[in-house]
Amino acid sequence: MVTQACGVDFGTSNSTVACYRSGQSQLLALEDGKVTLPSVVFFNAEEETTAFGRAAIGEYLDGYEGRLMRSLKSLLGTNLMNGQTEVNGRALRFMDLLSSFIGALKQRAEAQAGQTFTQAVFGRPVFFVDDDPVADKLAEDTLAEIARRAGFQDVAFQFEPIAAAFDYESRIQREELVLIVDIGGGTSDFSLVRLAPQRMALLDRRADILANGGVHIGGTDFDKQLSLHSVMPLLGYRSRLKNNAEVPSGYYFNLATWHTINFVYSRKTLSDLQGVYADALERDKLDRLFSVIEKRAGHWLAIQIEAAKIALSDTAVHSLSLDEITQGLTHDLTRGQFDEAIDRQIDSVTQTITRLLQDAGITAGQVDTVFFTGGASAVPLLRERVAALLPLAAKVEGDRYGSIGSGLALDALRRFA
């Protein structure tokens, strides 16, 4: 069966599109044969072009003048969505920025599938915005408007962990009570769902969803904490001034956060820092900060830190090369430092899971399976803490980047076919 419906997983770090054909859900190649498209846009000032995904990162790292923007999904539900930013000397509305990326996502999927998609189920976190239902609804409505601008006529939404559950359900042989643990770039989302092969065709699955929960913590937060804990001190974070006060921390928090990196490049920041430099006790560290600003290497540094986070999921020590900042500068990061950096965030994640089970009236021993998905679900400390909460449950690894998109395509088939 071929339909004009697809599933769209617009992620903070990576995005996918899937459709149902040949009797199964299929992820579509979106860039260089890969099914993920990094949620990144680069406005090339020299060529006056716009690049997306890996190509965007590549042009930025090749040294082209321009503006790199990432973590676009994080804008939803914030006041920034009503505003604009300057890109290569021109004003760009954030609404138009997200529309251009979703439009590119749709075009690439259609080119790969050889057909037009007019209907879509978009994934959404359990909470776009924590503890603010009005802002959360606004975020969903905004994404729906962006999707329609991109050319989708019928738009529906599904919680991302529920979509992952549908993907897992397509592969099981018996009924299971499953906790979906979806750790994405911007949010951690959880669903407790009763799954079974005989339930797959049902349109109404509300009775099978025992509880949903989420917290606004994800892979980009892990990057930020690793940066602040282990890398920003090399640039002067928490170093002292002559009056024993700390160097103002705002510069480092902006530099450690994807969507605020460009704030560090402003003339006001440079002027303020020159005043701070005069009173600094460790000027060699501030020299490195000035180097980052002058070379506009903030995004480069963020990419190195993200790569270190990924590496520390598989190794105990990762050597970070910082030649771009200071020739010959290296810094070893350890798994222990990473664990210490993100300990508070992981606690928030496990507390959310504990509340979810309590709200559902389910004990840990009743959960059959924990299904991990999302790019940041591989973090060892997260796995250890979740395993300690649910020691008897089987631990199943989903497609970190593809489970949600595949599940959304199955949901699109139910809704639109």
Asked if residue 74 is part of any domain, the answer here is yes
- Sequence length of the chain is 417
User: What are the tens digits of pLDDT across the range 393-408?
Assistant: 999 999 999 999 999 9
pLDDT at 401: 93
Residue 303 zone, left/alpha/beta (φ > 0; ψ -120 to 50; rest): alpha
203-209 — which CB contacts under 8 Å span 24+ positions? 203/414, 203/415, 205/162, 209/162
pLDDT at 130: 82
Measuring CA to CA, which residue among 22, 410, 417 is closest to residue 205? 410
Give the residue, 90 or 201, on which the prediction is more confident: 90
User: For every residue of the chain, which 3-state class applies, written as one string?
Assistant: CCCCEEEEECCCCEEEEEEEECCEEEECCCECCECCEECEEEEECCCCEEEEHHHHHHHHHCCCCEEEEECHHHHCCCHHHHCEEEECCEEEEHHHHHHHHHHHHHHHHHHHHCCCCCEEEEEECCCCCCCCHHHHHHHHHHHHHHHHHCCCCEEEEEEHHHHHHHHHHCCCCCCEEEEEEEECCCCEEEEEEEECHHHCCCCCCHHHEEEEEEECCCHHHHHHHHHHHHHHHHHCCCCEECCCCECCCHHHHHHCCHHHHHHHHCHHHHHHHHHHHHHECCHHHHHHHHHHHHCCCHHHHHHHHHHHHHHCCCCCEEEEECCCCCCCCEEEEEHHHHHHHHHHHHHHHHHHHHHHHHHHCCCHHHCCEEEEECHHHHCHHHHHHHHHHCCCCEEEECCCCCHHHHHHHHHHHHHHC
Domain count of the fold of the chain: 1
Asked if residue 291 is part of any domain, the answer here is no
Asked if residue 89 is part of any domain, the answer here is yes
User: What are the tens digits of pLDDT across the range 228-277?
Assistant: 999 999 999 999 999 999 999 999 999 999 888 989 999 999 999 999 99
Asked if residue 131 is part of any domain, the answer here is yes
Residue tagged 């989302």 (tokens):
189
**Rounded to an integer, what distance in angstroms lies between the CA atom of residue 14 and that of residue 30?**
11
pLDDT at 44: 96
Residue tagged 């992820």 (tokens):
27
Asked if residue 72 is part of any domain, the answer here is yes
**Rounded to an integer, what distance in angstroms lies between the CA atom of residue 288 and that of residue 283?**
9
User: What are the tens digits of pLDDT across the range 334-358?
Assistant: 999 999 999 999 999 999 999 999 9
CATH number of the structural domain spanning residue 404: 3.30.420.40
Asked whether the predicted pLDDT for residue 201 surpasses 80, the reply is no
User: What are the tens digits of pLDDT across the range 110-153?
Assistant: 999 999 999 999 999 999 988 889 999 999 999 999 999 999 99
Asked if residue 44 is part of any domain, the answer here is yes
**Rounded to an integer, what distance in angstroms lies between the CA atom of residue 15 and that of residue 98?**
13
Asked if residue 408 is part of any domain, the answer here is yes
* Residues 260 and 69: beta-carbon distance below 8 Å: no
Asked whether the predicted pLDDT for residue 3 surpasses 80, the reply is no
Domain membership of residue 42 as a residue range: 5-173+398-416
How much is the average pLDDT of 47-68? 93
What percentage of the chain exceeds 70 in pLDDT? 100
Measuring CA to CA, which residue among 111, 93, 187 is closest to residue 149? 93
**Rounded to an integer, what distance in angstroms lies between the CA atom of residue 119 and that of residue 416?**
7
Residue 74 banded pLDDT, cuts 50, 70, 90: confident
pLDDT at 2: 57
pLDDT at 410: 94
How much is the average pLDDT of 216-227? 96
Q: How many CA atoms lie within 13 A of 314 on its CB side?
A: 4
Asked whether the predicted pLDDT for residue 171 surpasses 60, the reply is yes
Asked if residue 98 is part of any domain, the answer here is yes
How much is the average pLDDT of 289-301? 94
Asked whether the predicted pLDDT for residue 71 surpasses 90, the reply is no
Measuring CA to CA, which residue among 30, 76, 38, 75 is closest to residue 57? 38
Residue 1 banded pLDDT, cuts 50, 70, 90: low
pLDDT at 221: 96
Burial letters for 384-399: b for 16+ Cβ neighbours within 10 Å, e otherwise?
Answer: ebbeebbeebeebebb
How much is the average pLDDT of 68-95? 89
Question: Which pair of tokens denotes residue 41?
Answer: 């846009």
**Rounded to an integer, what distance in angstroms lies between the CA atom of residue 135 and that of residue 328?**
47
What percentage of the chain exceeds 90 in pLDDT? 87
Residue 23 banded pLDDT, cuts 50, 70, 90: confident
pLDDT at 141: 96
Q: Are strands 119-124 and 5-9 parallel, antiparallel or unpaired?
A: parallel
Asked whether the predicted pLDDT for residue 363 surpasses 60, the reply is yes
